[in-house]
Amino acid sequence: MNKNVIIEDLGLKDYKETWDYQEKLFQSILDIKIKNRRAEAGLETPNYFLLVEHPHVYTLGKSGDLSNLLVNEEQLKDKGATFYKINRGGDITYHGPGQIVGYPILDLDNFFTDIHKYLRFLEEVIILTLADYGIKAERSEGETGVWIDVGTPFARKICAMGVRASRWVTMHGFALNVNADLGYFDNIIPCGIRGKAVTSLNVELGKPEVSMDEVQQKILKHFKELFEVEFVKQKTTV
């Protein structure tokens, strides 16, 4: 089992371009697994973890409801945002500057073949990261992602999650609001959940800005410990 994970920091990158790159890596792992099954080749499958910020974009999961997007094509253009219907689970969400988006493209055969455990681990990475800042974050029963003040009238989501898996290979992932412009969430019903707010780390800390690099390093530290991996840095090719 290969426990090495190739880390790529893509910086600020167009959503569609990044999605295409994810698909390329995802398919390359599937191809190896198919070859191993057919020819018993015993080839090692790689694992990747992409970190990125996107320009303003709304994405709708395969089971999502388009009516949760509250603006039309012209209004999207006015807001400098794009929209994509994509192949992950979950409903609609927003990505934009000031948000750390993580796309682990892992062969879970290298770790554990349990998609629910995988999602709980991803949530735990974010919960531990927020705990480093003195914020008590948690899961909300029946709702994916990471929340603050669950079970109160002030419940608010700080991190959205949605993944796709095939033959135990994962793609898509999480989006943690660090210095996000929360006004962009007003244009959607986030994750299809009415009546609950969205927040950002800088808002919770009462700061104008939080170091994105610092948060990213904390995410990587907890990911490494939870998944028991070794990181390999690779020059970005996308």
Among candidate residues 191, 198, 212, 215, the one labeled active-site is: 191
- State the Cα–Cα distance between residues 210 and 201, nearest whole angstrom: 7
Is 89 assigned to a binding site?
Answer: yes
Q: Check the annotation: does 161 bind a ligand.
A: yes
The residue written with tokens 């920091």 in the block is 9
Is 223 annotated to bind a ligand? Reply is no
Per-residue tokens: 21 = 């790159």
Q: Is 236 annotated as a binding residue?
A: no
Q: Is 88 flagged in the annotation as binding?
A: yes
The verdict on whether residue 93 carries a ligand-binding annotation is yes
Q: Tell whether residue 91 is among the known ligand binding residues.
A: yes
Residue 191 falls in the annotated catalytic set: yes
Q: Per-residue DSSP letters for 164-200?
A: EEETTEEEEEEEEESS--GGGGGGB-GGG-TT-EE--
CB 48 within 8 A of CB 5: yes
Helices (H), 40-72: none
Ligand-binding annotation for 95, yes or no, is yes
DSSP string, 53-65: E-SSEEEE-TT--
| Residue 55 DSSP symbol | S
The binding site for substrate consists of 88-95, 160-162, 173-175
Q: Which residues line the annotated binding site? A: 88-95, 160-162, 173-175
- Residues forming the active site: 191
